[in-house]
Homo-oligomer: A and B are copies of this chain.
Amino acid sequence: MLSKARVKFIKSLQLKKYRKQEQCFVVEGAKSVLEVLSSDYRVTMVVATPRFLQTHERALQQFQGELIETSERTLEELSEFKTNSMALAVVELKEYQEVTVHEGDYALVLDDIQDPGNLGTIIRTADWYGIETIIASERTADVYNGKVIQASMGSFTRVKMLYTHLATYLKGTSLPIMGAFLDGEDVHHFSFPSGGYVVIGNEGSGISPGVANCIKHRITINRFGFAESLNAGIATAVICDNMRRSLLKG
């Protein structure tokens, strides 16, 4: 049975303030719940319909937390997204104080990516291109926001996010730092180093001056038409694709 207190607790986690306080976040939807159950995140509660519980009995066998059965309707009422009618999980969040980017690895650096959908898509794209670490400015959207989790399609379980002061962080690293600008070297001709950081700027204002100062290689996505700029997630993907192609060519 889903008590009123549980409902209130789960709904409160839609706000960052309560996620911080409780050190928990919510994962919605059958696919993402299954993905987080098989990840190294600690799941403390699963709320699911009889259909979900039946279909995924095996996935839940090892689960040690609280398991609550409920109707589709209650689940929909409980959920941030109306598309969720199968399951949700309450999960302990992870706050990294530091991450290590090894030589030969790539990391993304996000300078105030504020749209949760963009951030989720960037996490999913990083995961596709084998990038395991994202360094984000403190004003970047919260990775544990429901919209970010949803757009990341489970990739948040595989990509570490460190929130920090970017200029300070970048000054402390010796790996190459690249950034996406409108006036840099053509990404089709840029010879990517074996590892390093790729900085992506804010949706409206681009990379901030303090961060831009740390960037050695300014790269640009070649334009063939008339749009003024590209969406931040799109720019990230095109750069990652060119980076992988450049490294394969070696």
Contact = CB atoms under 8 A, between A and B. Distances in A.
A128 B225 CA distance: 5
Interface stretch (A13-21, A67-75, A95-103, A237-245): A237-245
Contacts of A226: 127-128, 130, 155, 158
A60 to B, nearest CB: 21
A208 to B, nearest CB: 20
Interface in A156-196: 158, 188
A127 B231 contact: no
B230 A125 contact: yes
Given A117-B117, A121-B234, A241-B221, A227 B188 contact: no
How many copies altogether? Answer: 2
A106 to B, nearest CB: 10
A124 interface: yes
Interface string A77-100: 000000000000000000000000
A188 B225 CA distance: 22
Contacts of A126: 225
Contacts of A223: 128-129
A117 B147 CA distance: 13
Interface residues of A, number: 37
A103 to B, nearest CB: 18
A129 B188 contact: no
B224 A244 contact: yes
Given A117-B117, A121-B231, A231-B121, A127 B237 contact: no
A237 B230 contact: yes
Question: 4 shortest A-B CB distances, which residue pairs?
Answer: A130-B224, A130-B225, A127-B227, A128-B227
Given A125-B227, A128-B225, A155-B227, 17 more contacts: A121-B234, A124-B231, A124-B234, A127-B226, A127-B227, A128-B226, A128-B229, A129-B224, A130-B224, A153-B229, A154-B228, A155-B226, A158-B227, A188-B245, A221-B241, A224-B244, A230-B237
22 contacts: A121-B231, A121-B234, A124-B234, A125-B227, A125-B230, A126-B225, A127-B225, A128-B221, A128-B224, A128-B227, A128-B230, A131-B225, A153-B227, A158-B226, A158-B227, A188-B248, A230-B237, A234-B234, A237-B238, A238-B238, A241-B241, A241-B242
